[in-house]
Amino acid sequence: MSLTASDRSAYFCALTAIALWSTVATGFKLGLRHLEPAQLVMLGTLISTVIFWAVTLYSGTVRLSARHLCMAAVMGLINPTLYYLVLFEAYDRLPAQIAQPLNYTWSITLALLAIPVLKQHLSARSMLGIAISYAGVVILLTQGNFDQPLAFEHTGIFLALASTVLWAIYWLANARLNIPATALMAWSFTFAAPLTVGLCLFGPGLPPLSIEAGVYGLWVGAVEMGISFLLWQRALRLTSSAARLGQLIFLSPFASLLLIGLVLGESIHPASFVGLVVIALGILVSHRGQPQASSD
């Protein structure tokens, strides 16, 4: 199949974003060795705010109406403030090979929440995909020992699954907003920045002034929150097939699992790999039976 120059650029941006996203689970765990979750959220938010404003000012789309500014403030409360705080708390309590696949089920949560929020109806194929994915979650959490108690902290599991609800809510709300993506992110992160500073002041304290804190804050703010998002948005604008591009996202969790084993030194349990495969299979089945959610 011959690709146009625009499609080649789209694939380059998408694959670069996926490569960056593949590193974030490892980055989260390394960063949490030096920082508290609230401190990592604060540093990531401040750095990504600078990135989004630089892009927004360059594009020239800065001004928002008072109504849109209020919406941006609410969105900033959800993402990055609550979402990343909950996600990092989960990573702080669970092995990365467990937290990362659980968070990956957010698209299944999105499909379920779309029923009451968007009044959508799930097809039989979508329901089958959801059932397959949550069977993968059971395999992941039990590590194949179905007759034994869960070996992982229950609070961490709850927080990881709660993060999928917050992310799904964020994208459902985002789909209804007619606001340029970079301007929305710049303003919402601006509103979130003082909230994350407050979380630190009334919690673990401000992050230490150290090279380690700066490196991991930059990793989270630039790689996870900022540059990857901008690359993916550009890929979606350039591609002639968003659905085909979206299937590339399935590469990320498996590359991430490889890095978790190589860099973090976690011994990857066979059930973790099998559980991730089953989760990804369920998501693939579900997506083929459900219209793609828009991120415009």
The structural domains of the chain, with segments of one domain joined by +, span: 5-288
What percent of the chain clears pLDDT 70, i.e. is strictly above it? Answer: 92
Tokens 């990531």 map to which residue?
Answer: 44
For 237-249, what is each residue's pLDDT tens digit? 787 766 677 777 7
Any idea what the Cα angle at residue 57 is, between residues 51 and 60, rounded to 5°?
140
Closest CA to 68 of 234, 186, 156, 231: 186
The greatest distance separating any two alpha carbons of the chain, rounded to the nearest whole angstrom, comes to 59
Percentage of the chain exceeding pLDDT 90: 45
Q: For 207-234, write each residue's pLDDT tens digit.
A: 998 998 999 999 999 988 888 888 888 8
Residue 77, number of CB atoms within 10 A of its CB = 16
pLDDT in tens, 150-184: 778 899 999 999 999 999 898 888 877 778 888 88
Rg (C-alpha) for the chain, rounded Å, is 19
Strand ranges in the chain using DSSP code E only, listed in sequence order: none
Tell me the whole-structure pTM to 2 decimals: 0.89
Output the six-digit token pair for 277: 């495969």
Quote the CA–CA distance of 169 and 90 in Å, as a whole number: 18
Residue 295 has pLDDT above 50, yes or no: no
Q: Average pLDDT in the 87-113 region?
A: 91
DSSP class of 146: T
